[in-house]
Amino acid sequence: MNDLQRIIRPAVRRAVVRGAAGALFVSLVTLPSVAASRPEPQDAPATQERITMGQVLSGDPIPADERIAYGDHEMQIGDLRLPDTPGPWPLAILIHGGCWLDIATLQYFDRVAEAITDLGIATWNIEYRPVDVEGGGWPNTFLDVAHGVDKVRDLAIEHDLDLDRVITLGHSAGGHLALWAAGRPRIYDDSDIYVVDPLPISGAISLGGVPELRRFRTVDPNPCGNAIDQLMGGGPRDFPERYLAGSPFQMLPLNVPQRHITGRDDRIVPPRQVSAYNYEAQAADDSEMIVVPDAGHWDVVWPGTPAWDRVEAAVLSLSGIR
């Protein structure tokens, strides 16, 4: 048994009870990594040690400046962190991943939030109802994110936030939601997830994210099980209008700058999943894909790694600081 198996075996048991969530954990444990299967030259330098899911999901919570509700449900909350420097501050809205399932919470973005706040950027790290809890799925998982994002207008009344410099940043499933939140003005008013006057977003960063739900849904075996069908209520043939409103690829152009940062050895959301989207997005949007050598799915959310250096540069750039 390797270290990752020891860390997540209790989580596997919980995930199997949840149903589809088990697929993510099983795939991580049983599939050989891309890096491990690629022979290295004898004299090659040592590779960067991979950050694991166990590392990212472990650790104690890091208290925020404020925990604030954006709705009545217990999961409709967010953590606000403010820089020590004078405002007005740009703001990064953070959206965690976890296959849209109840296998992760906003806590795993605590380190990310702390690191970005240290750059002089306020952070609003939001929770939302995953698809496998009561009330989650279509349309409420989307609407939770929408209301969490739009809560920023209220936050700006009491805090010195610059509403002209608001970006979204998400990882994995949260990358999908970060892109979706940025593109909400593209949603037609007859959609279940339409919200009047969505908060304008000045840039979106997707870290190992899922930009195309239909394409990711066809991956077999799928690291997220049937979570997309749970999220959308079914497949694209059943609900084509939902995919038009909920999948960033179908929403193009998003009309916001986008940065897609992925590890070359990411086997949860392989780079080819992202490159197809980025190719189409570049036709009308400022969209850039950054593939980090010797990095996997989790390195991009671990401050201090070479992958994080690329994330930090994108955050500063889209926030108008550099």
Considering the domain boundaries, does residue 39 fall inside one? no
Structural domain tally of the chain? 1
Considering the domain boundaries, does residue 139 fall inside one? yes
Q: What is the mean pLDDT of each run of 10 residues along the chain (322 residues)?
A: 34 39 41 36 50 93 98 98 97 98 97 98 98 98 98 98 98 98 98 98 98 96 97 98 98 98 97 96 98 97 97 98 82
Considering the domain boundaries, does residue 42 fall inside one? no
Q: What pLDDT does 35 receive?
A: 37
Considering the domain boundaries, does residue 94 fall inside one? yes
What is the radius of gyration, based on Cα positions, of the chain?
18
Distance set, CA 76 to CA 17, 105, 146, 245, 302 (Å):
24, 12, 11, 22, 25
Residues 209 and 171: beta-carbon distance below 8 Å? yes
Helix (H, G, I), strand (E, B) or coil at 257: coil
Considering the domain boundaries, does residue 261 fall inside one? yes
The candidate with the shortest Cα–Cα distance to 147, out of 209, 194, 190, is 194
Considering the domain boundaries, does residue 126 fall inside one? yes
Q: d(Cα 118, Cα 113) in Å, to the nearest integer?
A: 9
The continuous run of DSSP H or E covering 34 comes out as: helix 34-37
Considering the domain boundaries, does residue 101 fall inside one? yes
| DSSP 8-state assignment for residue 182 | H
Residue tagged 């967010």 (tokens):
78
Q: Which two tokens stand for residue 271?
A: 């780079």
pTM of the model: 0.88
Q: What pLDDT does 48 receive?
A: 61
Domain that holds residue 88: 3-34+49-318
Considering the domain boundaries, does residue 278 fall inside one? yes
List, in sequence order, every beta strand (DSSP E) within 37-136: 66-69, 77-81, 89-95, 122-126
CATH number (domain holding residue 196): 3.40.50.1820
